Structure 1
Protein backbone atom coordinates (compact mmCIF):
# COMPACT_ATOMS: atom_id res chain seq x y z
CA UNK A 1 0.00 0.00 0.00
CA UNK A 2 2.84 2.38 0.81
CA UNK A 3 4.18 1.90 -2.72
CA UNK A 4 0.90 3.16 -4.17
CA UNK A 5 0.91 6.14 -1.82
CA UNK A 6 4.46 7.07 -2.83
CA UNK A 7 3.63 6.57 -6.52
CA UNK A 8 0.58 8.82 -6.15
CA UNK A 9 2.61 11.49 -4.36
CA UNK A 10 5.39 11.24 -6.95
CA UNK A 11 2.92 11.73 -9.78
CA UNK A 12 1.25 14.66 -8.05
CA UNK A 13 4.58 16.37 -7.34
CA UNK A 14 5.80 15.82 -10.92
CA UNK A 15 2.73 17.68 -12.12
CA UNK A 16 3.14 20.47 -9.56
CA UNK A 17 6.81 20.80 -10.39
CA UNK A 18 6.04 21.00 -14.12
CA UNK A 19 3.54 23.79 -13.61
CA UNK A 20 5.86 25.68 -11.22
CA UNK A 21 8.79 25.31 -13.61
CA UNK A 22 6.69 26.61 -16.47
CA UNK A 23 5.85 29.72 -14.46
CA UNK A 24 9.51 30.19 -13.46
CA UNK A 25 10.64 29.78 -17.07
CA UNK A 26 8.30 32.54 -18.22
CA UNK A 27 10.23 34.95 -16.02
CA UNK A 28 13.82 33.74 -16.33
CA UNK A 29 14.01 31.13 -19.13
CA UNK A 30 13.67 27.38 -19.37
CA UNK A 31 17.26 26.29 -18.73
CA UNK A 32 17.44 28.77 -15.86
CA UNK A 33 14.29 27.24 -14.40
CA UNK A 34 15.86 23.79 -14.75
CA UNK A 35 18.97 24.99 -12.90
CA UNK A 36 16.95 26.58 -10.10
CA UNK A 37 14.82 23.46 -9.74
CA UNK A 38 17.79 21.10 -9.69
CA UNK A 39 19.54 23.29 -7.12
CA UNK A 40 16.54 23.58 -4.80
CA UNK A 41 15.97 19.83 -5.16
CA UNK A 42 19.59 19.23 -4.17
CA UNK A 43 19.22 21.48 -1.14
CA UNK A 44 16.03 19.72 -0.03
CA UNK A 45 17.58 16.27 -0.44
CA UNK A 46 20.66 17.35 1.55
CA UNK A 47 18.46 18.80 4.29
CA UNK A 48 16.52 15.54 4.55
CA UNK A 49 19.77 13.54 4.58
CA UNK A 50 21.02 15.62 7.50
CA UNK A 51 18.06 14.43 9.56
CA UNK A 52 18.08 10.79 8.42
CA UNK A 53 21.76 10.22 9.21
CA UNK A 54 21.87 6.60 8.12
CA UNK A 55 25.19 5.00 7.21
CA UNK A 56 24.35 4.19 3.59
CA UNK A 57 26.93 6.70 2.29
CA UNK A 58 29.55 4.06 3.07
CA UNK A 59 28.13 2.00 0.16
CA UNK A 60 28.55 4.85 -2.34
CA UNK A 61 31.55 3.20 -4.01
CA UNK A 62 29.40 0.17 -4.92
CA UNK A 63 27.23 2.24 -7.28
CA UNK A 64 27.95 1.80 -10.98
CA UNK A 65 29.36 5.16 -12.18
CA UNK A 66 27.00 5.06 -15.16
CA UNK A 67 24.03 5.19 -12.79
CA UNK A 68 25.44 8.24 -11.03
CA UNK A 69 24.63 10.26 -14.15
CA UNK A 70 20.90 9.70 -13.53
CA UNK A 71 20.50 13.09 -11.88
CA UNK A 72 21.64 14.78 -15.07
CA UNK A 73 18.49 13.46 -16.74
CA UNK A 74 16.60 15.83 -14.46
CA UNK A 75 17.71 18.88 -16.43
CA UNK A 76 16.41 17.35 -19.67
CA UNK A 77 13.20 16.25 -17.93
CA UNK A 78 12.55 19.74 -16.62
CA UNK A 79 13.32 21.42 -19.93
CA UNK A 80 11.15 18.98 -21.87
CA UNK A 81 8.24 19.23 -19.44
CA UNK A 82 8.29 23.03 -19.43
CA UNK A 83 8.41 23.25 -23.21
CA UNK A 84 5.61 20.68 -23.55
CA UNK A 85 3.38 22.42 -21.01
CA UNK A 86 3.91 25.77 -22.73
CA UNK A 87 3.08 24.34 -26.14
CA UNK A 88 0.29 21.80 -25.50
CA UNK A 89 -0.90 22.40 -21.92
CA UNK A 90 -0.62 20.49 -18.67
CA UNK A 91 -3.19 17.75 -19.28
CA UNK A 92 -1.96 16.67 -22.68
CA UNK A 93 1.68 16.98 -21.61
CA UNK A 94 1.23 14.73 -18.58
CA UNK A 95 -0.74 12.21 -20.66
CA UNK A 96 2.03 11.98 -23.25
CA UNK A 97 4.69 11.86 -20.52
CA UNK A 98 2.91 8.91 -18.89
CA UNK A 99 2.69 7.05 -22.20
CA UNK A 100 6.37 7.69 -22.81
CA UNK A 101 7.25 6.46 -19.32
CA UNK A 102 5.14 3.33 -19.64
CA UNK A 103 6.48 2.55 -23.09
CA UNK A 104 10.08 2.78 -21.96
CA UNK A 105 9.41 0.85 -18.77
CA UNK A 106 7.91 -1.97 -20.85
CA UNK A 107 11.12 -2.11 -22.88
CA UNK A 108 13.26 -2.01 -19.73
CA UNK A 109 11.18 -4.66 -17.94
CA UNK A 110 10.88 -6.85 -21.04
CA UNK A 111 14.64 -6.88 -21.54
CA UNK A 112 15.69 -6.93 -17.89
CA UNK A 113 17.90 -3.88 -18.32
CA UNK A 114 19.70 -2.19 -15.40
CA UNK A 115 19.90 -5.45 -13.49
CA UNK A 116 16.12 -5.75 -13.10
CA UNK A 117 14.35 -9.07 -13.28
CA UNK A 118 13.01 -9.63 -16.79
CA UNK A 119 9.22 -9.30 -16.92
CA UNK A 120 7.08 -10.87 -19.61
CA UNK A 121 4.93 -8.29 -21.37
CA UNK A 122 1.51 -9.63 -22.19
CA UNK A 123 -1.35 -8.51 -24.40
CA UNK A 124 -3.28 -6.74 -21.59
CA UNK A 125 -0.33 -4.41 -20.95
CA UNK A 126 -0.03 -3.59 -24.64
CA UNK A 127 -3.78 -3.00 -24.87
CA UNK A 128 -3.52 -0.65 -21.89
CA UNK A 129 -0.82 1.42 -23.59
CA UNK A 130 -2.89 1.44 -26.79
CA UNK A 131 -5.91 2.71 -24.86
CA UNK A 132 -3.79 5.49 -23.36
CA UNK A 133 -2.61 6.52 -26.82
CA UNK A 134 -6.22 6.58 -28.02
CA UNK A 135 -7.05 8.70 -24.96
CA UNK A 136 -4.38 11.23 -25.88
CA UNK A 137 -5.72 11.39 -29.43
CA UNK A 138 -9.20 12.05 -28.00
CA UNK A 139 -7.79 14.72 -25.65
CA UNK A 140 -6.11 16.38 -28.60
CA UNK A 141 -9.38 16.67 -30.55
Structure 2
Protein backbone atom coordinates (compact mmCIF):
# COMPACT_ATOMS: atom_id res chain seq x y z
CA UNK A 1 0.00 0.00 0.00
CA UNK A 2 1.42 3.37 -0.97
CA UNK A 3 1.88 6.14 1.57
CA UNK A 4 -0.79 8.26 -0.17
CA UNK A 5 -3.24 5.34 -0.19
CA UNK A 6 -2.49 4.60 3.48
CA UNK A 7 -3.09 8.24 4.46
CA UNK A 8 -6.32 8.44 2.49
CA UNK A 9 -7.57 5.19 4.02
CA UNK A 10 -6.61 6.49 7.47
CA UNK A 11 -8.59 9.68 6.92
CA UNK A 12 -11.64 7.69 5.85
CA UNK A 13 -11.29 5.34 8.83
CA UNK A 14 -11.15 8.31 11.21
CA UNK A 15 -14.21 9.73 9.46
CA UNK A 16 -15.95 6.40 10.05
CA UNK A 17 -15.00 6.44 13.74
CA UNK A 18 -16.30 10.00 14.06
CA UNK A 19 -19.56 9.03 12.31
CA UNK A 20 -19.85 6.06 14.66
CA UNK A 21 -19.50 8.42 17.62
CA UNK A 22 -22.62 10.26 16.44
CA UNK A 23 -24.84 7.19 16.85
CA UNK A 24 -24.77 6.94 20.69
CA UNK A 25 -25.29 10.69 20.99
CA UNK A 26 -28.20 10.55 18.53
CA UNK A 27 -29.70 7.60 20.37
CA UNK A 28 -29.46 9.32 23.76
CA UNK A 29 -30.89 12.56 22.39
CA UNK A 30 -33.75 10.80 20.59
CA UNK A 31 -34.58 8.83 23.76
CA UNK A 32 -35.02 12.14 25.59
CA UNK A 33 -37.11 13.42 22.69
CA UNK A 34 -39.27 10.31 23.09
CA UNK A 35 -39.99 11.29 26.69
CA UNK A 36 -40.67 14.92 25.72
CA UNK A 37 -43.21 13.99 23.03
CA UNK A 38 -44.44 10.81 24.75
CA UNK A 39 -43.96 8.58 21.70
CA UNK A 40 -41.00 6.70 20.21
CA UNK A 41 -42.56 6.93 16.75
CA UNK A 42 -43.22 10.66 16.94
CA UNK A 43 -39.66 11.14 18.19
CA UNK A 44 -38.38 9.24 15.13
CA UNK A 45 -40.59 11.32 12.84
CA UNK A 46 -39.30 14.57 14.35
CA UNK A 47 -35.71 13.34 14.06
CA UNK A 48 -36.17 12.39 10.40
CA UNK A 49 -38.07 15.59 9.60
CA UNK A 50 -35.30 17.79 11.00
CA UNK A 51 -32.71 15.64 9.23
CA UNK A 52 -34.66 15.97 5.99
CA UNK A 53 -34.74 19.76 6.31
CA UNK A 54 -30.97 19.78 6.85
CA UNK A 55 -30.46 17.58 3.79
CA UNK A 56 -32.65 19.86 1.66
CA UNK A 57 -30.52 22.81 2.71
CA UNK A 58 -27.25 20.95 2.02
CA UNK A 59 -28.45 19.78 -1.41
CA UNK A 60 -29.60 23.27 -2.36
CA UNK A 61 -26.26 24.76 -1.31
CA UNK A 62 -24.01 22.02 -2.73
CA UNK A 63 -25.92 20.83 -5.80
CA UNK A 64 -28.39 23.67 -6.51
CA UNK A 65 -31.22 21.22 -7.21
CA UNK A 66 -33.84 19.06 -5.57
CA UNK A 67 -34.89 16.87 -8.47
CA UNK A 68 -33.78 13.69 -10.17
CA UNK A 69 -34.95 11.81 -13.23
CA UNK A 70 -37.98 9.79 -12.13
CA UNK A 71 -37.48 7.44 -15.08
CA UNK A 72 -34.73 5.68 -13.09
CA UNK A 73 -37.32 4.24 -10.69
CA UNK A 74 -38.64 1.39 -12.84
CA UNK A 75 -35.14 0.73 -14.24
CA UNK A 76 -33.45 0.31 -10.86
CA UNK A 77 -33.37 -2.56 -8.42
CA UNK A 78 -36.17 -2.46 -5.84
CA UNK A 79 -33.84 -2.56 -2.86
CA UNK A 80 -32.13 0.77 -3.56
CA UNK A 81 -35.31 2.48 -2.34
CA UNK A 82 -35.59 0.85 1.11
CA UNK A 83 -32.85 2.80 2.90
CA UNK A 84 -35.40 5.17 4.45
CA UNK A 85 -37.57 2.42 5.95
CA UNK A 86 -34.43 0.66 7.20
CA UNK A 87 -33.40 3.95 8.82
CA UNK A 88 -36.81 4.13 10.54
CA UNK A 89 -36.27 0.64 11.95
CA UNK A 90 -32.76 1.57 13.11
CA UNK A 91 -33.60 4.91 14.72
CA UNK A 92 -36.85 3.76 16.33
CA UNK A 93 -35.20 0.59 17.67
CA UNK A 94 -32.49 2.71 19.26
CA UNK A 95 -35.11 4.94 20.86
CA UNK A 96 -36.98 1.92 22.24
CA UNK A 97 -33.89 0.01 23.41
CA UNK A 98 -31.93 2.79 25.15
CA UNK A 99 -34.20 3.16 28.20
CA UNK A 100 -34.14 -0.62 28.70
CA UNK A 101 -30.53 -1.49 27.91
CA UNK A 102 -28.71 1.81 28.51
CA UNK A 103 -26.55 3.63 25.99
CA UNK A 104 -23.52 1.35 26.10
CA UNK A 105 -25.36 -1.96 25.76
CA UNK A 106 -27.74 -0.56 23.14
CA UNK A 107 -24.83 0.62 21.01
CA UNK A 108 -22.85 -2.60 21.40
CA UNK A 109 -25.88 -4.75 20.56
CA UNK A 110 -26.60 -2.61 17.49
CA UNK A 111 -22.93 -2.74 16.51
CA UNK A 112 -22.99 -6.53 16.86
CA UNK A 113 -25.97 -6.72 14.53
CA UNK A 114 -24.24 -4.38 12.09
CA UNK A 115 -21.11 -6.54 12.08
CA UNK A 116 -23.14 -9.72 11.63
CA UNK A 117 -24.96 -8.46 8.54
CA UNK A 118 -21.80 -6.73 7.24
CA UNK A 119 -19.98 -10.07 7.33
CA UNK A 120 -22.83 -11.70 5.42
CA UNK A 121 -23.11 -8.86 2.88
CA UNK A 122 -19.36 -8.95 2.25
CA UNK A 123 -19.26 -12.74 2.07
CA UNK A 124 -21.96 -12.97 -0.60
CA UNK A 125 -21.25 -9.62 -2.29
CA UNK A 126 -24.85 -8.50 -1.83
CA UNK A 127 -25.96 -5.06 -3.03
CA UNK A 128 -23.02 -4.84 -5.43
CA UNK A 129 -20.31 -4.61 -2.77
CA UNK A 130 -16.90 -6.18 -3.30
CA UNK A 131 -16.96 -9.76 -2.09
CA UNK A 132 -14.82 -10.62 0.97
CA UNK A 133 -15.26 -14.22 2.06
CA UNK A 134 -15.78 -15.00 5.75
CA UNK A 135 -12.65 -16.55 7.24
CA UNK A 136 -11.61 -17.73 10.68
CA UNK A 137 -10.04 -14.34 11.58
CA UNK A 138 -13.31 -12.54 10.91
CA UNK A 139 -15.23 -15.14 12.90
CA UNK A 140 -12.82 -14.74 15.84
CA UNK A 141 -13.23 -10.95 15.65
CA UNK A 142 -16.99 -11.31 15.72
CA UNK A 143 -16.79 -13.77 18.64
CA UNK A 144 -14.68 -11.23 20.55
CA UNK A 145 -17.42 -8.63 19.97
CA UNK A 146 -20.01 -11.01 21.40
CA UNK A 147 -17.73 -11.62 24.38
CA UNK A 148 -17.47 -7.86 24.88
CA UNK A 149 -21.24 -7.50 24.88
CA UNK A 150 -21.58 -10.25 27.48
CA UNK A 151 -18.94 -8.56 29.67
CA UNK A 152 -20.63 -5.17 29.35
CA UNK A 153 -24.00 -6.70 30.21
CA UNK A 154 -22.72 -8.42 33.35
CA UNK A 155 -20.38 -5.72 34.66
Query: TM-score if structure 1 supplies the norm length?
Result: 0.91
Aligned with residue 3 of structure 1, among 12, 20, 30: 12
The partner residue of 2:117 within 104, 113, 131 is 104
2-structure distance, mates of 1:74, 1:113: 18
Report the CA distance between 1:30 and its aligned residue: 0.2
Tell me which protein shows more helix as a share of its residues. 1
Which stretches of structure 1, 4 residues or more, deviate above 4 A after TM superposition?
A: 57-60
**How many pairs are equivalent?**
141
The answer for unaligned runs of 5 or more in structure 1 is none
Aligned residues: CA RMSD: 2.0
> Aligned partners of 2:50 and 2:149: how far apart in 1?
32
Task: Extract unaligned runs of 5+ from structure 2.
Answer: 1-9
Matches within 5 A, 1:8-87: 8-28=17-37, 29-53=39-63, 58=68, 61=72, 63-87=76-100
Quick one: distance in 2 between partners of 1:135 and 1:41?
32
- Distance in 2 separating the partners of 1:50 and 1:65: 27
CA distance in 2, matches of 1:106, 1:116: 11
CA distance in 1 between partners of 2:137 and 2:121 (Å): 17
TM-score norm. by structure 2 comes to: 0.83
Structure 1 residue 8 displacement after superposition: 1.5
**Distance in structure 1 (CA, Å) of the matches to 2:11 and 2:60:** 23
Alignment-derived partner of residue 94 in structure 1: 107
